[in-house]
Structure 1
Amino acid sequence: MIDRAEESALMPTAASPLPAGRRVLVLAPHADDEVFGCGGSLHLLAQAGASITVIVASDGVLGGKADDAAAGGAAHETQGASLIAQREAESRAAAETLGYPAPAFWRLPDRGLRYGEALVTRMLEAMQETDADLVFAPALTELHPDHQALALASAEALRRLGGERSIAFYEVSAPLLPNTLIDITGAEDVKLAAMRCFRSQLAQQPYDDHIAALNRYRSYTLGDGVRAAEAFFMATAGDLAIGLTPLFESALGRRRRLGVATEGVEVPLVSVIVRSMDRLTLAEALTSLAAQTYPNIEVLVINATGKQHSPLPDFGGRLIMRLVESGAPLTRSRAANAGLDAARGQYAAFLDDDDTLDPDHLSQLVATLRSEGDGAVVYSGVRCMARNDPAHKITRVFGEPFESRAKLLAGNFIPSHAPLFPRRFAENGARFDETLDVYEDWDFWLQLAQTARFVYVDRVSATYFTGGTSDVSPLAFDPEAVRRAARTLFSKWKDHISPDEIKALGDLYHQSQAEVAGIKAALQDREADIRQLEYQIDGYDSELRRKEREVKAYLQQLAAAETSLSHVLASRSWRLTQPVRTASAIVRSAAHRTAGTAYRLYTFLPISVRIHLRPLLRPLTRYLRARHAPAAGMRNRLPVDYMQAVVAAEGAAPASLEFPYSAAPTVSIVVVDEGGRDQTWRTLAALRQEHGVEDCEVIVVAADPSAWLAQPKGPRLERRSGGLLEGYAHGAALARAPWLLFWSGNSYPLPGMLAELRRLIAEQPGTALVVPKLVSEHAQLIFPVDRAGVLDPNLPEVNFVCPADRCPAAAFLVNKSFLGSGEALRSADAGLMTALVGAIQTQGGRILYAPYMHAIVPAGTLPADSARWCPDNAAGRRVLILDLHTPTPDMDSGSVDAYFQMKILGELGYRVTFAPVTELVYRSRYTADLQRIGVECLYAPYTASVVDHLREQGRRYDFVMLNRLAAAEEFIDYVQYECRGARIVFNTVDLHFLREQRRGELTGQRAMARQARDTRRRELRVMQKAAATLVISEAEAALLRQEAPEVRTFHLPLIMHIPDRADTPFGERKDLFFIGGYRHLPNVDAVLHFVADVWPRVRTRLPGVRFHIIGSDPPPEILALAGSDIVVEGFVPDAAPFFNGCRLSVAPLRYGAGLKGKVGRSLGYGCPVVLTPLAAEGMNLTDGRDALIAESGERFADAVVRLYENESLWNTLAREGLQFFDAHFSLEVGKTTLAAIFEALDARH
């Protein structure tokens, strides 16, 4: 009896949810299959908002006859064309009925689809072009050969593409064994109407009735509520990477329609010899052969058991399958010779019955062998796995170049199923030695190596499974058995080894001894390092305990000092000396402003000019540094010097004020005088200094305006008694602007407040209410209050934009559309605008806390309990991001990506914390810009070290993203220990080892090649510890899938936003430029090479054109390039004028890795770019459409000149490049990609 659990495993007993596909690709062999197979599910997906692309592969010309009206009695050819047109029209009508766009038609020959590299490549391109995360394809159980070919090609394309993608195999002409049933009861009638669009097919058979009956049958196991269902076999790209056996299970022995698996005589026949002991693993080995993209294979299964062999599957006729019987048990050698005798192919290969080949293994080897000629043997790398390991961990890889026969004599490094060789070697006498019980394949390779060249194909494309019974397996062996087998083999070959080979063997021995000695020495050094580290840890523990005692003492001293300070601030002498302090502050402020203005003007000069000014400015620089150097112990820069702000707030206000009039104000500022004309006057004076006040209207509400002897010019002065809230309501009724800023006359605004508000309104759509940070005249935090009660307004916990649920009455900004009658302004609770907050929350408006909208207010403005709210308590899953430095988006592309990744995570609802691991400092506007997008930034003195933070707060994080190898390598072990439960994401930025490897290849430096190998080892070690690895290009993702398939890799491309793009036409642009940071050595190499090898060819053909070199930190060799037509600009605060004003940019990179931000940015500005193939790597750019791609030198120069002079070509590249940017690198694309990555990480946790 089969119990319920087993029954549900064989056939689903409950309907599955609709597959979660945002971008759906449907592959149909003929026009109608997409509707018959999955029309109901497509209708439901379309209703759910999915983007659906349907591709019909064949022309369907053999599928019936056209209507008489269409054929019109024309000849056979005309009837065929009419039938094609009619079937396509029917497919379009069905698409409209189901609610998705019209299909695309490839019009390949009907019954002419062939599974192979050509079809796989086309499938792969379609999946990449649509960026599909869900693919529908016909099932492998289908009877029609076009259906089978499309099924196999789709599966192989998805396996190669990898990632978080799924495929749903559907049924049309033959039932499959499904693992997913989708309830289409709600779409049954719509699907039936769509099927009836195919009149040309229904004229032959009532397919609509057949499919409807099949759908009704599929609901049999799903209960009474389901009338119709569609059946699918669902698989992920990861499932396909493991093997295709489940996809063939329902098709084994189904039929033999074609009889042979050839595509014609133009491709050589390959004989694959399988020595079989009739084990269960044979099915998997044969399945891997059926999945080969190479089309012409015969499989010879040699029955070595001596007993009756189980029947062989036929895989729908894809393979020539022959069972070779001997009637007696065979040794491995005799079985191999029997296979060679029976083989008919031009080439031969072996496969054990418990191993497998990747689908493109034979295709790659045949291509190499055909190019090398029949005198060669080609072989690939082989991965080793334990058969029963559910994690499919790779334990070893065999993949070494063939340097000499001596190396092969020293040890067999070529597994038996790795090579492909011409069968003529066997016909000319190469045989397996039947006297050898083991090492027979090693002996055979030694025979071939006497005359053949062995060529290594540098890729891993086969799998060796451990767990067999051999005593000499390289992964699990009996040492004594190995010695016996080796003695037997070498006794045979000892008389056939030349003196040169004996010398080579000696050299190999000494080389291996030296390597072993080096490994031992390195191991001893590592053990010594560990002992030293353990000793240092003990010392650090002691030092930590001592520091903790010191901190405790300092805290006690600080408490006493704060008590003394409060007495001083309240003293009579402090008040009497206020004018002196104010005057001193004004003088210092003026000096700083003058120096700052001079420096900004200086930075706008080209660096080639600035370099000549430096000797003149050095004495002045030394003087200013001496005068304004920070005091000892105060070198940690803080967001705001609030003590200085308090002094400024106490300064005398000007005798008169004049505000400009704005006919259409953007902000109405309502200032309520609360009984202190002098204080309100100082508040107005501060507002007048704000940048942008010209676009504001100012309304002053006072109980007694006559007390104002000198009225400010411009503000509207209104009489209104009743206190602060009544004044707010009165002012709101008079306001003309869409935004209202309410301000108590007792609150002193700090500089930059208006600019901060305008920026927040622009960058945070949907905002209804903005609440400020309030600081007392003692420079202590009043609102919000840190959860620990600490009153420092510079704490990281209270210095980032975030949602708020409280609003102090002393100051706030509100969108007028949310005020209604304004009644909510008249109610406050313990100094908080509770009614206003509730009204806005009811309307769905966003309430944001803005730390740089800050004000000095009197102590006691808010009761302590009502202010006890902290941004750090905001809801959301937490992400900690560790990087080497704070992102500087105006200096390097990696910073742009880092900035937007954090911004997007915040918009997705994650709580982001950032720490720069090399220097925990507050970096002025760069740190502030992160805080403005909602990122909590850690900095000294509040965070002593990253390790301390992990130890104290590590458990609160759900995700930890480690950016760049150096940061990841240093902290990943700490994160694993202190942030247990968090998913660790390693963001490579680019593959460092690949960049170093290419630099070594370019320069020929062996040291760089060694460094690249070491970096590769370090990067892979971090990747194996992380839950996921992010790479910036699909090329790097493919490389990692090849070299480290156990690593979970995600492709996260460039993320950019270009708000200041200008559509400057071709004729108004001039010059060309390169942009990049010059701490990155590939940029230095690119510029030097361009100026030396390309620019001389360009300047002679484009006289008067200048080349601008832009970017931070140019070294002396770059500075030395400056001349009449080469301008070394250096760092520029805003590069937009170059992107919008120059005619083109260049990216002549010769080595590196990852995607190039300079290229993406140029595309985003609509500024065409000329670049090398390396700079274009992984971007999928089309030469001549999206950009011009050329090798450096004469071709690169030709491309620059052609683009500079050809307006039509320039317009095409500008337009297409911009469209490419929007489709691949825009914020919207980045947000979708990053959301999918984090959702996938959540799903796997």
Structure 2
Amino acid sequence: MPIPADARFWLARALGLWRRGWASLRTRGLRASWARLRAQFARRPAPTTVLWRPEPTPFAPFALATSGQPRASVVIPVHGAFPHTLACLRALAAHPPAVPFEVIVVDDASPDDTLARLGQVAGVRVHARATNGGFIAACNEGAALARGDWLVFLNNDTVPQPGWLDALLRTFDTQTDVGLVGAQLVYPDGRLQEAGGVVFADGAGWNYGRGEDPADCRYAYLRDADYLSGAAIALPRTLFERLGGFDMRYAPAYYEDTDLAFAVRAAGLRTLFQPAAVVAHDEGGTAGTDLASGPKAAQARNQAVFAAKWADALARQLPAGTLPTPARLHRDRPQVLLIDALTPQPDRDSGSVRLVNLMRLLRDEGAHVVFLPANRSADGAYTQALQALGIECWHAPWAPGIPAWLRAHGPRFHAAMVSRHYVASEVFPLLRRHAPQARLLFDTVDLHFLRERRAAELAGDAAALRAADATRARELALIGMADATFVVSDVERALLAREAPGARVRVLSNLHVLPAPGPGRAGRRDLLFVGGFRHPPNVDAVRWFVEAVFPRVRAALPGIGFHCIGGDVPPAIAALAGIDGVHVHGHVPDLRPWLDGCVAAVAPLRYGAGVKGKVNEAMAHGLPVVGTPAAVEGMHLVDGHDVLVGADAEAFAAAIARLHGDADLWTRLARHGRDNVARHFSLDAARDVVRETFLAR
């Protein structure tokens, strides 16, 4: 009787863990293997919302650090309820945004002493209305007084959290075609109030995520939303003016924010929910919550007004009564699932850079991207960085075991890509069962069996060679199961043409966004190596370079230094820092000082597979590279034109000395290296492959 797919997953996971553990013990030793195991299965806690609130002390005059030349104008309409307004203003005073801002408080004929007390808050522009006109009239009048490039509407019964405004406005810089951005609204007790709004076909609204945990994977990523609550929204002032402000047909209030979102989209712009902008909102603190009387009574009446105005647009919305889910919210775009062993850490390894830039490219091409790490662990700032790109990231505790998660989510995907053979071995049968409609893609990252075989041949290790053959069998089996397989170089594609004839193999190489080039040759000194030391070829490369190459370099260039940068430094590499001129830095989040200050990057790899991110990264910054044949394999590089190549220690050292002493050669290599990255390793270079394999119908 065949084994069910779910049971096969757990069996494959156990066998895969045993194989990788044994291989790691052989190549890394017990200590490093144990650290790797702990990292693989660590359950990092998901981020939780800890709210800041001002102390409820009696009122006394204070000041806001506003600007006479604001970039953002924060408009706060008020009608009585001064304790709410006081808490809001105290929050702005205690944690002022980094962007220059002004605060315009529109007093809508408050029945209490609000107006008098506002006069004692320095840095606030107060506009007093003679008669009460309601929320819409107050907001429109405040907007007419604004001087900033952005208009920000903020309810007075809110406590904006530190960084909220900068996060809202940053969205306009990091995303394209953005017209309106709304904050994550939370209740004072930290529960989610709204992660953007959903509008149904009858015009009714739904506060997505109400009452849930803000860290829940369904709500924690940047997302297009049907509407954003006017309690905390931002948009360009010129756009608000062009749209005619809040529509007065909804006066005094309610549905004006929903109407604005529909108008923004009708103008061809996006309306986005930004979870990084957190605002605590005491919902109903000023208008109440009774839909039958008072200001809230207009909500039911205005639904009919809104539905009549936007009848054509509403025909494309979810039917009334539908339960909003991520699958349904992104129903208008192809949904693509990416699975890798861990959450990518692009400041630590080149494979992560490639994966994150693939996500960017997929989003640019109109796909909605879902990421699931095989260890189901949230990884702090790395997970949050993906969510800030608009990636729907899943992790424990909201993602149960992978079989259960795929049962629930599998039917939504147009394509699913799994990276690394040991992850794909576990997941492919589940995907075939629970997502049979999805195009199944295997990302080798690099051909593991090729790297293992080369390492075994270099070491003369017969047991390791047999292990490489076993890896080959597993990788070829997965290639046979997949609808398409990705390799990172033409060298690996040619190899698979022999090893797996008939398989559909495409090159999806390293992906880089070219930064501005670094400075020229003058003033540079020293050599740079970058590479994480969880990767055994990097350990071998640095030891060989320091022991065999660097003494020859120092003999030719006395005083030159070698900077070794990369995380997870083992004792054998740390010990090299005792050698004169060798500097072992460990992990460095920002490489720019070394990329701008060193005269060359070295890639002394004696074995490996795939395309080397350390080479791409240096070239992208305009830093010439000296490498071994293994380091530049499959990268379209020509010795003497794009790169210098040394096959042994003597040739490698001679290449470094030659580059160091020839400024014209240095300049040519810097220019040609950047050109090479742009031609072969940019997002544009991969666009056609991504369209064909992930998105074609």
TM-score range, shorter chain: 0.7 to 0.9
- Read off the aligned partner of 2:679 and give its amino acid letter: A
Give the match for residue 104 of structure 2: 699
- Read off the aligned partner of 1:812 and give its amino acid letter: I
Decide whether the 8 Å contact of 2:337 with 2:371 is kept in 1. yes
Give the match for residue 881 of structure 1: 338
From 594, 608, 611, the equivalent of 1:1155 is 611
Q: 1:871 to 1:836 in 2, by over 3 A?
A: farther
Identity across matched positions, percent: 37
Shift of residue 990 of structure 1? Answer: 0.5
Q: Aligned partners of 1:661 and 1:529: how far apart in 2?
A: 67
Give the match for residue 389 of structure 2: 933
Shift of residue 689 of structure 1? Answer: 4.5
- For 2:121, what is the secondary structure of its paired residue? coil
Decide whether the 8 Å contact of 1:1027 with 1:1048 is kept in 2. yes
Q: Aligned partners of 1:686 and 1:885: how far apart in 2?
A: 38
Shift of residue 656 of structure 1? Answer: 4.9
Write out aligned runs for 1:32-51 (5 A): none
Decide whether the 8 Å contact of 1:878 with 1:911 is kept in 2. yes
Give the match for residue 670 of structure 2: 1214
Give the match for residue 909 of structure 1: 366
Q: Aligned partners of 1:913 and 1:706: how far apart in 2?
A: 49
Q: Is 2:124 the counterpart of 1:715? A: yes
Q: 1:1228 to 1:772 in 2, by over 3 A?
A: same
User: What TM-score does the superposition give when structure 1 sets the normalisation length?
Assistant: 0.47
Q: Is 2:147 the counterpart of 1:740? A: no
Equivalent pairs, count: 613
Q: Aligned partners of 1:821 and 1:1237: how far apart in 2?
A: 41
Give the match for residue 410 of structure 2: 954
Shift of residue 732 of structure 1? Answer: 1.4
Q: Aligned partners of 2:469 and 2:437: how far apart in 1?
A: 32
Q: 1:856 to 1:1072 in 2, by over 3 A?
A: same
Cα deviation, 1:439-469, whole Å, max 9, x if unaligned, reads: xxxxxxxxxxxxxxxxxxxxxxxxxxxxxxx
Cα deviation, 1:475-505, whole Å, max 9, x if unaligned, reads: xxxxxxxxxxxxxxxxxxxxxxxxxxxxxxx
Write out aligned runs for 1:228-627 (5 A): none
Q: Aligned partners of 1:737 and 1:869: how far apart in 2?
A: 36
Q: Aligned partners of 2:652 and 2:688: how far apart in 1?
A: 36
Q: 1:798 to 1:528 in 2, by over 3 A?
A: closer
Shift of residue 787 of structure 1? Answer: 6.8
- Read off the aligned partner of 2:143 and give its amino acid letter: A
From 427, 442, 446, the equivalent of 1:971 is 427
Shift of residue 664 of structure 1? Answer: 3.9
Specify every segment of 5 or more residues in structure 2 that has no aligned partner in the other structure, as ranges: 12-41, 196-205, 292-298, 304-320
Q: Is 2:503 the counterpart of 1:1077? A: no
Q: Aligned partners of 1:1177 and 1:635: how far apart in 2?
A: 37
Shift of residue 674 of structure 1? Answer: 4.1
Write out aligned runs for 1:1081-1120 (5 A): 1081-1120=536-575
Cα deviation, 1:177-214, whole Å, max 9, x if unaligned, reads: xxxxxxxxxxxxxxxxxxxxxxxxxxxxxxxxxxxxxx
Decide whether the 8 Å contact of 1:886 with 1:926 is kept in 2. yes
Cα deviation, 1:328-383, whole Å, max 9, x if unaligned, reads: xxxxxxxxxxxxxxxxxxxxxxxxxxxxxxxxxxxxxxxxxxxxxxxxxxxxxxxx
Q: 1:636 to 1:1153 in 2, by over 3 A?
A: closer
- Read off the aligned partner of 1:934 and give its amino acid letter: G
Shift of residue 730 of structure 1? Answer: 1.7
- Read off the aligned partner of 2:185 and give its amino acid letter: L
Give the match for residue 301 of structure 1: none
Q: Aligned partners of 2:84 and 2:348: how far apart in 1?
A: 43
Shift of residue 657 of structure 1? Answer: 3.9
Q: Aligned partners of 1:850 and 1:709: how far apart in 2?
A: 30
From 1106, 1110, 1126, the equivalent of 2:582 is 1126
Q: 1:821 to 1:1075 in 2, by over 3 A?
A: closer
Decide whether the 8 Å contact of 1:962 with 1:968 is kept in 2. yes
Q: Aligned partners of 2:3 and 2:260: how far apart in 1?
A: 63
Q: 1:822 to 1:1025 in 2, by over 3 A?
A: closer
Shift of residue 760 of structure 1? Answer: 1.6
Q: Aligned partners of 1:899 and 1:654: how far apart in 2?
A: 49
- Read off the aligned partner of 1:1115 and give its amino acid letter: P
User: What TM-score does the superposition give when structure 2 sets the normalisation length?
Assistant: 0.82
Decide whether the 8 Å contact of 2:119 with 2:126 is kept in 1. no
Q: Aligned partners of 1:780 and 1:1035: how far apart in 2?
A: 53
- Read off the aligned partner of 1:1219 and give its amino acid letter: D
Cα deviation, 1:390-441, whole Å, max 9, x if unaligned, reads: xxxxxxxxxxxxxxxxxxxxxxxxxxxxxxxxxxxxxxxxxxxxxxxxxxxx
From 463, 471, 483, the equivalent of 1:1007 is 463
Shift of residue 1021 of structure 1? Answer: 0.7
Q: 1:689 to 1:637 in 2, by over 3 A?
A: farther
Cα deviation, 1:1071-1123, whole Å, max 9, x if unaligned, reads: 11100110001111110000001100111222222111101111001111114
From 351, 360, 371, the equivalent of 1:894 is 351
Shift of residue 1049 of structure 1? Answer: 0.5
Decide whether the 8 Å contact of 1:1104 with 1:1125 is kept in 2. yes
Answer 1 or 2: higher relative contact order, Cα 8 Å, separation at least 6: 2
Decide whether the 8 Å contact of 1:724 with 1:744 is kept in 2. no
- Read off the aligned partner of 1:736 and give its amino acid letter: R
Q: 1:1070 to 1:724 in 2, by over 3 A?
A: farther
Give the match for residue 846 of structure 1: 270
- Read off the aligned partner of 1:957 and give its amino acid letter: F
Q: Aligned partners of 1:674 and 1:901: how far apart in 2?
A: 49
- For 1:1067, what is the secondary structure of its paired residue? coil
Q: Aligned partners of 2:158 and 2:43: how far apart in 1?
A: 30
Decide whether the 8 Å contact of 1:746 with 1:857 is kept in 2. yes
Shift of residue 672 of structure 1? Answer: 2.5
Q: Is 2:600 the counterpart of 1:1144? A: yes
Give the match for residue 726 of structure 1: 137
Decide whether the 8 Å contact of 2:336 with 2:414 is kept in 1. yes
Give the match for residue 16 of structure 2: none
Cα deviation, 1:500-538, whole Å, max 9, x if unaligned, reads: xxxxxxxxxxxxxxxxxxxxxxxxxxx9999xx79x99x
From 637, 640, 662, the equivalent of 2:48 is 640
Shift of residue 860 of structure 1? Answer: 4.6
Q: Aligned partners of 1:745 and 1:661: how far apart in 2?
A: 17
Shift of residue 709 of structure 1? Answer: 6.1
Give the match for residue 202 of structure 2: none
Decide whether the 8 Å contact of 2:514 with 2:678 is kept in 1. no
- For 1:1099, what is the secondary structure of its paired residue? helix
- Read off the aligned partner of 2:532 and give its amino acid letter: G
Q: 1:1098 to 1:654 in 2, by over 3 A?
A: farther
Give the match for residue 621 of structure 1: none
Cα deviation, 1:750-776, whole Å, max 9, x if unaligned, reads: 222133224321111221101222112
- For 1:708, what is the secondary structure of its paired residue? helix
Q: Aligned partners of 1:671 and 1:651: how far apart in 2?
A: 20
Decide whether the 8 Å contact of 2:168 with 2:183 is kept in 1. no
Q: Aligned partners of 2:476 and 2:694: how far apart in 1?
A: 21
Q: 1:1135 to 1:816 in 2, by over 3 A?
A: same
Give the match for residue 815 of structure 1: 236
Decide whether the 8 Å contact of 2:157 with 2:283 is kept in 1. no
Give the match for residue 184 of structure 2: 773
Cα deviation, 1:846-870, whole Å, max 9, x if unaligned, reads: 1111122221112358889999866
Decide whether the 8 Å contact of 2:246 with 2:256 is kept in 1. no
Shift of residue 988 of structure 1? Answer: 0.7
Decide whether the 8 Å contact of 2:506 with 2:689 is kept in 1. no
Q: Aligned partners of 2:406 and 2:56: how far apart in 1?
A: 44
Q: 1:788 to 1:1202 in 2, by over 3 A?
A: closer
Q: Aligned partners of 1:858 and 1:789: how far apart in 2?
A: 13
Cα deviation, 1:290-349, whole Å, max 9, x if unaligned, reads: xxxxxxxxxxxxxxxxxxxxxxxxxxxxxxxxxxxxxxxxxxxxxxxxxxxxxxxxxxxx
Q: 1:1033 to 1:737 in 2, by over 3 A?
A: same
Shift of residue 970 of structure 1? Answer: 1.0
- Read off the aligned partner of 1:791 and give its amino acid letter: E
Moved more, 734-743 or 862-871: 862-871
